[in-house]
Structure formats: structure tokens, C-alpha cells
Amino acid sequence: MVDLTYAIAGSEATGGAGLQADLKTFQQLGTYGIGTITCIVSFDPKSDWGHRFVPITPEVIADQIEAATAAHDLDTVKVGMLGTTATIDVVAEALTRQPWRHIVVDPVLICKGQEPGAALDTDAALRRQILPLATVVTPNLFEAKILSGMETIESVSDLAEAARRIADLGPGVVVIKGGVDFPGDEAVDMVFDGEQFTTLRAHKVGTERVSGAGCTLAAAITAELAKGADAVAAVRTAKEFTTAAIIGRRTAHTPFDSVWQGTSR
């Protein structure tokens, strides 16, 4: 039987990031993808491709989760962009209704176009209500600074310290993505499972951010965990998969490129 993977995430209308990236990743890695939409992000080509953000009402999110969990025996979920405190409330409540083998949280903290004050509220709510439920959390460098309270993360030992602090918030496994902003010519990821630190490295593919990379990494970790991999093996495979998807990225009429999960490894 094919393993089931469930994403609770935002829709990104150009197809590069969010739930669209999650479902492509699930399919590519041989799992059956199921999705619940939390919000709709439509980049605005008339306004420098800024984010337009519309939350889905909590009732409709609850309905989608009800349908997905009633239809399938789900035990592995990825949580992506939530966006509002009302969404965090309904998702946190739904997650506590059944046991999960894996809850992978990509702590997408800011989305341009949201009220500046709202970001602080959602950060606090995510930290309080979602992170304690996570078995794996995958912050990027910016999110790791916010969640750890560290002003700078510039070395491998900083990554380790940030991972240790974020693990104290609840998640069993912390994966910090160094990405293009981490100094040096390598994309360095730090994995901390509560006991051991594992550093994963790949040559940086370029210096520009590629849309959908973070979503793809977390979704690939989710798929590998669903198939039975242990956490470090899941992250290792996910990093290879994401690096290939960045190398095979697609250009579009957007000012950024988007990952392509169909790139062969």
C-alpha cells in the first residue's frame, strides 16, 4: 500500500511554493498526497509581484481536515503556511484530535502583504500552539533567529546553539536550513535530534533564493518519514531531492525562479 502524506498549507497561485510544491514533492517521492488549504497567496504582477494574502475561514479549514482525516487513516502531516492566529487555533485543535506518527512543521513566519503587527501575533501563536506538537521543525535562517532569540547565526556552532534552543520549544528534531544567507559557498543544514548534531552540506547552487525550496525540503522529509526512514536519513534524502529541484529550477515571468521537483537526481 502506498504511504499517505498530508499537507496543511497555503496555496501559492503561480504553482512554485506552498501546497502545490508539497503535492508535487509527495507524488515524486512515491507517496499519496492529500491537502488542506489554509490561505491563498496570489503574487501581484501589477505591483512588483508582492504577496496578496487571503485566509480561508476557520470553519472551511476545519471542514477540509474533517474530510481528509475521515477519508484516510493519516499519521504523517506537514504543516506549512498558516498565516493568522485564527488559522493556528483551528489547526492546533485539529492536530490534537488524533495521534500522529510525524508532524513536520515548516514555520513560515512572514508573508509580505500581511499586517506588520499580525506577524508578531502569529509568531507567538505558532511558538505556543504548534511547535510543541511538532516532531520535526524546519526553520530557515531568519526563522531560526526569531525562534531561538539569537541575533546572528553565522557559524556551524551558532547553528547548533540555535537548534538546541529551538528543540527546547518542543520539537523532537530541529532542521535549520542555512540556505543562501549562511556565510560561505556551501548550503549548510544543521539537524539536531535532541542528542546528536548532524551537519549536511552541499555546494550552493547560486546566490539567489529559489521559490519553493523550503516547502519542498519539508515535504520531502515528510514523504521519507512516511515511508519509514529515520529522521537524519529523511533529511539527507530530502536535501538531495531539493538540491536537484533547485538545479533544475524553472524560470517564469516572475522576478524569481521556482524549484522543479521533476528534475532527475
Contacts with ligand PXL, residue ranges (CB under 6 A):
9-10, 12, 17-18, 41, 80-81, 108, 214-215
Distance of closest approach, residue 230 Cβ to ligand PXL, in angstroms: 26
Distance of closest approach, residue 182 Cβ to ligand PXL, in angstroms: 17
**76/140 with CB nearer ligand PXL:** 140
Q: Are strands 186-192 and 173-177 parallel, antiparallel or unpaired?
A: antiparallel
Q: Are strands 173-177 and 136-137 parallel, antiparallel or unpaired?
A: parallel
Distance of closest approach, residue 9 Cβ to ligand PXL, in angstroms: 6
Residue type at position 62: A
Task: Give dist(CA 26, CA 36) in Å, integer.
Answer: 14
**33/193 with CB nearer ligand PXL:** 33
Distance of closest approach, residue 38 Cβ to ligand PXL, in angstroms: 8
Q: Is 133 exposed, middle or buried (0-12, 13-18, 19+ CB in 10 A)?
A: middle
**72/112 with CB nearer ligand PXL:** 112
Do residues 92 and 124 make contact, with C-beta atoms less than 8 angstroms apart? no
**22/158 with CB nearer ligand PXL:** 22
Distance of closest approach, residue 91 Cβ to ligand PXL, in angstroms: 14
**110/160 with CB nearer ligand PXL:** 110
**18/171 with CB nearer ligand PXL:** 18
Distance of closest approach, residue 1 Cβ to ligand PXL, in angstroms: 29
Count of Cβ atoms closer than 10 Å to residue 2 Cβ: 9
